[in-house]
């Protein structure tokens, strides 16, 4: 077989989670909580199944859920999305991302991404015959150098992919970034794919800069959101995409043949659960406490903490500890010290290794305690 993705292997999240399972290590690699989702939510799924929500949902998602998503988006970002034409329920954030890229990227279209970047972007672009134009961000702050973005733009630039809060770096877009972005795309035929799966995980009282807030950005944006991160239920694989009607029409052409529709009972349950906005209001404080707890524990280690303004990831530099490659060190720490992490080099298309590891802190306090106890021995 002639591979369509010759440079792509199995994703690092699968590889490191498997190694953690094999060695019995504490798994701070792949991003998911080690505590359960709210029991009320599980009861609502059972109820939905008993109430007969067991056949195909409409292709774009149950209307009761799309209505709640519309209300939530309006409350959070003051933006009105029409549930009928501008919201589609997806099988998680990754499907929304893949579908948006396949819907609008033609062969030889250029797509700008910022690395380190979530690994699905580049592969989805390449599968469509698009060209990845990656710009490397510099640690420790990983700010976007907008003057360099300007220089990367050509008549073939069709899309810019943004991710705030960013995986893996935990950096977030500021209002200044938004102003720069608006100046760059204004009057241009450029789409934005905004991966906002960590929209509620923004710390220190800062505001999430959703593309939905800004008409100039919103009119060209696909916004990918995840209920897995919102309700501690990553295994449900459910999320959604927001986009203006003309873009959503193209998105749905692909969506219907990729998954047709998403599982019905979970949609019904989430629709009911979302009626109470308190279910997401407490999330920033909940995760900030975990971030602070983990950072505080690591202060006694030889790792250097990088800033973390959002997401559920803490990056650390091990420059002062060893010269090993990050991929080798992540494996060695898993095997020898019993804590699995993600080497940040996995988020680059080039061989870039700043000697940084990513740890997921969306874990119970006792898990974080045990992990820290082991990491301070390194």
Residue 94 vs 171, nearer CB to ligand GLN: 94
Contact residues for 1 (Cβ-Cβ < 8 A; gap 6+) = none
What minimum distance in Å lies between the beta carbon of 119 and ligand GLN?
8
Considering CB under 6 A, how many residues would be counted as binding ligand GLN?
A: 5
DSSP per-residue codes, 254-276: HHHHHTSS--HHHHHHHHHHTTS
What minimum distance in Å lies between the beta carbon of 158 and ligand GLN?
25
What minimum distance in Å lies between the beta carbon of 311 and ligand GLN?
9
Residue 31 vs 130, nearer CB to ligand GLN: 31
Q: In what order do the strands lie in the sheet with 313-317?
A: 304-305, 313-317, 356-360, 342-343
Q: 17 near 27, Cβ under 8 Å?
A: yes
Residue 70 vs 171, nearer CB to ligand GLN: 171
- Per CB under 6 A, 239 contacts ligand GLN: no
What minimum distance in Å lies between the beta carbon of 31 and ligand GLN?
3
Considering only 20, 25, 31, 227, the residue that binds ligand GLN (CB under 6 A) is: 31
Query: Which of 332, 362, 365, 329 shows the shortest CA–CA distance to 25?
Result: 332
Task: Report 151-190 residues binding ligand GLN (CB under 6 A).
Answer: 167
Q: Locate the DSSP E strands across the chain.
A: 26-27, 87-90, 110-115, 131-136, 157-163, 191-195, 221-226, 239-242, 304-305, 313-317, 339-340, 342-343, 356-360
Residue 81 vs 203, nearer CB to ligand GLN: 203
Task: Report 78-117 residues binding ligand GLN (CB under 6 A).
Answer: 94
Considering only 30, 134, 221, 341, the residue that binds ligand GLN (CB under 6 A) is: 30
Residue 58 vs 235, nearer CB to ligand GLN: 235
Residue 31 vs 310, nearer CB to ligand GLN: 31
- Per CB under 6 A, 348 contacts ligand GLN: no
Residue 208 vs 218, nearer CB to ligand GLN: 208
Q: What is the CA radius of gyration of the chain?
A: 20
What minimum distance in Å lies between the beta carbon of 352 and ligand GLN?
18
CA 80, 83, 86, 92 dihedral sign is: positive
Contact residues for 7 (Cβ-Cβ < 8 A; gap 6+) = none
- Per CB under 6 A, 13 contacts ligand GLN: yes
End-to-end CA distance of the chain: 44
Binding site for ligand GLN (CB under 6 A): 13, 30-31, 94, 167
């Amino acid at each position: 077989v002639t591979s369509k993705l010759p440079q792509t292997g199995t994703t690092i999240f699968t590889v490191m989670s498997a190694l953690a399972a094999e060695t019995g290590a504490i798994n701070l690699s792949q991003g998911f909580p080690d505590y359960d989702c709210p029991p009320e939510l599980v009861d609502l799924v059972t109820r939905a199944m008993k109430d007969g929500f067991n056949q195909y949902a409409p292709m774009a998602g149950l209307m009761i859920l799309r209505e709640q998503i519309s209300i939530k988006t309006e409350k959070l970002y003051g933006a009105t999305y029409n549930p009928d034409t501008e919201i589609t329920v997806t099988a998680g954030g990754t499907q929304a991302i893949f579908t948006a890229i396949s819907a609008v990227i033609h062969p030889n279209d250029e797509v700008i991404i910022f690395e380190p970047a979530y690994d699905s972007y580049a592969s989805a672009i390449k599968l469509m015959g698009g060209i990845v134009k990656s710009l490397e961000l510099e640690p420790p702050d990983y700010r976007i150098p907008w003057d360099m973005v300007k220089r990367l733009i050509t008549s073939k630039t069709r899309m810019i992919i943004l991710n705030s809060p960013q995986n893996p770096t935990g950096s977030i877009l500021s209002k200044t970034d938004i102003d720069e972005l608006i100046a760059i795309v204004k009057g241009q035929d450029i789409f934005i794919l905004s991966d906002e799966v960590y929209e509620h995980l923004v710390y220190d009282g800062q505001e999430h800069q959703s593309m939905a807030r800004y008409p100039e950005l919103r009119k060209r944006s696909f916004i990918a959101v995840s209920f897995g991160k919102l309700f501690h239920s990553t295994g449900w694989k459910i999320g959604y995409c927001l986009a203006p009607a003309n873009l959503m029409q193209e998105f749905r052409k692909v969506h219907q043949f990729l998954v047709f529709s998403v599982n019905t009972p979970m949609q019904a349950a989430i629709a009911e659960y979302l009626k109470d906005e308190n279910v997401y209001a407490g999330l920033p404080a909940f995760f900030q406490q975990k971030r602070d707890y983990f950072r505080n524990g690591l202060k006694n280690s030889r790792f250097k903490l990088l800033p973390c303004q959002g997401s559920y990831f803490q990056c650390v530099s091990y420059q002062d500890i060893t010269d090993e490659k990050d991929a080798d060190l992540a494996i060695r720490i898993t095997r020898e010290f019993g804590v699995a992490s993600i080497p940040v080099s996995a988020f680059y298309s080039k061989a870039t290794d700043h000697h940084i590891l990513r740890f997921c802190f969306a874990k119970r306090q006792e898990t974080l305690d045990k992990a820290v106890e082991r990491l301070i021995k390194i």
